[in-house]
A and B are shown apart, each in its own frame.
Chain A
Amino acid sequence: MRSFSYERATSPGAAAAAAAGTANAKFIAGGTNLLDLMKLEIETPAHLIDVNGLALDRIDETADGGLRIGALVRNTDLAADRRVRRDYAVLSRALLAGASGQLRNKATTAGNLLQRTRCPYFYDANLPCNKRKPGSGCAAIGGFSRQHAVIGASEACIATHPSDMAVAMRVLDVVVETVRPDGATRSIPIADLHRLPGDSPEIETTLQPGELITAVALPKPVGGTQAYRKVRDRASYAFALVSVAAIVQGDGTGRVALGGVAHKPWRVEAAESELPRGAKAVTARLLADAKPTKDNAYKLPLAERTLAAVLREARG
């Protein structure tokens, strides 16, 4: 871990300004992903801005009947919030499927969205990785790719996004609220937050330098039966091989997003029109352009079968 200077931010605007005004600065909140990577010098900030003192740890009801989740709300608290459990069960379920109790107590809402991939080649600094070292190549291609993306990947990167929470937020159509170094705020639909790798996999989101997530806004509840099904080898404390977030309405319509298959939570709205026809029809559209490797081709039937199970349960 390289030496860094450290400051405690006093306001979101000041934090963003400090991040833009200091070379190689990073925000730190829960720290559960950033410190992990700093120990390996995969992340090498020269300055850390501790945002934990900012008053961004509340969950408030919004005027349109939704909830505004402060960026610093811990995963445990978000999952346990009575309103979230009642009206956004898919979000509670996704959070509870992730990590461990200890990590959920520390990890924040914004930090969870900004998690970096768990690709083992990203984690080993001796090996090529375009995400870690642009232009060095992708060792996962042609390597061990059982966990990797089956869709939306590129010649430069086949990593997946590891978050469970983000997959649930994708079907809930949340909006990410930020403040920029100049003090301006903006709202980013979650669909537009994460990028596909293309030829610049090191750029993972559409956030600009210094831009700080302040909140995530949940639209008013959409009802329906909500489910998050995470498939993994180990029964707990493991990243998803495939996950399915779904909201199924009484009339058979609904929304579906997949985790563990792409560089971002994977949702194709057009595929949802197939929901009344069942999982096979949905995944045929959802994963129409899939290009799996030999190691991860199993994710295609797995996604279909998992969705089928979710739909069967949702429809009683």
Chain B
Amino acid sequence: MTRVSFDVNGETHQLELDTRTTLLDALREHLHLTGTKKGCDHGQCGACTVIVDGRRINSCLTLAVMHHGDEITTIEGLGTPDGLHPLQAAFVEHDGYQCGYCTPGQICSAVGVLAEVKAGIPSHVTADLNAPLRLTNAELRERMSGNICRCGAYSNIAEAISEVAGRSA
């Protein structure tokens, strides 16, 4: 057992955890923040995506004890049913989901993507590594590819994110 302390959605949590506990299981099983999903537990689906210190990561492939002092944002920290984050609202409007299980990961990932584009981080489909970035549809799809949606809502998810990206641009 190891003690660890980190902030989740602005609240500090002190936990005493089995060192084997992943950040994902700490959130879901210890803090009961079950919005973050376990789809594969092996970094192969993206359902567990959360934002740690401003960056999106797979919470299943990191140990909770490795996040001492970190600031973590989960889907619950972005908005609530009565106060949706713009991306959450756009996903509802564009039907950017079906079963809903990958959805929190998609939305957290989208928050990360918009930040990465703003920071000028290139992607596999960026034509010119040394020119200013534009968030084209191809860029969006490449950058979101770490989030699998087996229901196949990709086309709608892309429209939801594009709408918010256009608004915030």
A contact set with B: CB distance below 8 Å: 1, 3-6, 28, 31-32, 35-36, 39, 48, 50, 52, 76, 79-80, 85-86, 89, 92-93, 96-97, 99-103, 105-106, 235-237
Smallest CB gap from A85: residue in B: B129
- In the complex, are the beta carbons of B57 and A106 less than 8 A apart? yes
Residue of A6, A39, A85, A105 near B19 (CB, 8 A) is A6
- In the complex, are the beta carbons of B42 and A101 less than 8 A apart? no
Q: How far is the CB of A75 from chain B (nearest CB, A)?
A: 11
B contact set with A: CB distance below 8 Å: 2, 18-20, 22, 41-43, 46, 49, 55-58, 60-63, 65-66, 109, 112-113, 116, 119-124, 126, 129-130, 141-143, 145-148
Kindly state the separation between the CA atoms of A235 and B129 in the bound complex, as whole angstroms: 19
Residue of A36, A80, A102 near B57 (CB, 8 A) is A102
- In the complex, are the beta carbons of A35 and B121 less than 8 A apart? no
Residue of B19, B43, B148 near A5 (CB, 8 A) is B19
- In the complex, are the beta carbons of B20 and A4 less than 8 A apart? yes
Closest CB pairs A-B (n = 8): A100-B146, A236-B145, A85-B129, A80-B121, A96-B124, A105-B55, A6-B19, A237-B145
If A31-B61, A35-B61, A92-B129 touch, whether A102 touches B145 (CB-CB below 8 Å) is: no
Kindly state the separation between the CA atoms of A236 and B130 in the bound complex, as whole angstroms: 22
How many A-B pairs have beta carbons closer than 8 Å: the answer is: 104
Counting chain A CB atoms within 10 Å of each CB, which of B42, B66, B113 scores highest?
A: B66
Residues on the A chain within 8 Å of B60, using CB: 35
Counting chain A CB atoms within 10 Å of each CB, which of B22, B63, B130, B141 scores highest?
A: B63
- In the complex, are the beta carbons of B146 and A101 less than 8 A apart? yes
Residue of B20, B46, B49, B120 near A80 (CB, 8 A) is B120
Residue of B55, B56, B61, B142 near A36 (CB, 8 A) is B61
8 inter-chain pairs at a CB distance below 8 angstroms, sorted by A residue, are A6-B63, A28-B66, A39-B41, A39-B42, A76-B116, A100-B145, A105-B112, A236-B145
Given contacts A76-B55, A79-B121, A105-B112, 6 further A-B contacts (CB under 8 A): A36-B43, A86-B129, A96-B122, A100-B146, A103-B58, A236-B141
Kindly state the separation between the CA atoms of A92 and B63 in the bound complex, as whole angstroms: 28
Counting chain A CB atoms within 10 Å of each CB, which of B55, B58, B116 scores highest?
A: B58
Residue of B19, B43, B46, B130 near A48 (CB, 8 A) is B19
Counting chain A CB atoms within 10 Å of each CB, which of B41, B129, B130 scores highest?
A: B129
Q: How far is the CB of B90 from chain A (nearest CB, A)?
A: 19
- In the complex, are the beta carbons of B61 and A101 less than 8 A apart? no
Residues on the B chain within 8 Å of A86, using CB: 129-130
Smallest CB gap from B18: residue in A: A3
Smallest CB gap from B67: residue in A: A52
Residues on the A chain within 8 Å of B129, using CB: 85-86, 89, 92-93
Residues on the B chain within 8 Å of A76, using CB: 55, 116, 121
- In the complex, are the beta carbons of B46 and A100 less than 8 A apart? yes
If A32-B58, A237-B146 touch, whether A102 touches B109 (CB-CB below 8 Å) is: yes
Residues on the A chain within 8 Å of B122, using CB: 79-80, 85, 92, 96
Kindly state the separation between the CA atoms of A163 and B167 in the bound complex, as whole angstroms: 38
Q: How far is the CB of A294 from chain B (nearest CB, A)?
A: 28
Residues on the B chain within 8 Å of A39, using CB: 41-42
- In the complex, are the beta carbons of B66 and A102 less than 8 A apart? no
- In the complex, are the beta carbons of B145 and A105 less than 8 A apart? no
Kindly state the separation between the CA atoms of A79 and B43 in the bound complex, as whole angstroms: 20
Kindly state the separation between the CA atoms of A209 and B71 in the bound complex, as whole angstroms: 35
Q: How far is the CB of B56 from chain A (nearest CB, A)?
A: 5
Residue of B19, B22, B62, B112 near A101 (CB, 8 A) is B112
Q: How far is the CB of B93 from chain A (nearest CB, A)?
A: 24
Q: How far is the CB of B156 from chain A (nearest CB, A)?
A: 18
Kindly state the separation between the CA atoms of A85 and B131 in the bound complex, as whole angstroms: 10
Q: How far is the CB of B109 from chain A (nearest CB, A)?
A: 7
Q: How far is the CB of B65 from chain A (nearest CB, A)?
A: 6
Kindly state the separation between the CA atoms of A76 and B121 in the bound complex, as whole angstroms: 8
Kindly state the separation between the CA atoms of A219 and B66 in the bound complex, as whole angstroms: 33
- In the complex, are the beta carbons of A102 and B121 less than 8 A apart? no
Kindly state the separation between the CA atoms of A105 and B108 in the bound complex, as whole angstroms: 14
- In the complex, are the beta carbons of A97 and B124 less than 8 A apart? yes
Kindly state the separation between the CA atoms of A4 and B145 in the bound complex, as whole angstroms: 33
Counting chain A CB atoms within 10 Å of each CB, which of B18, B61, B141 scores highest?
A: B61
If A35-B61, A80-B122 touch, whether A101 touches B116 (CB-CB below 8 Å) is: yes
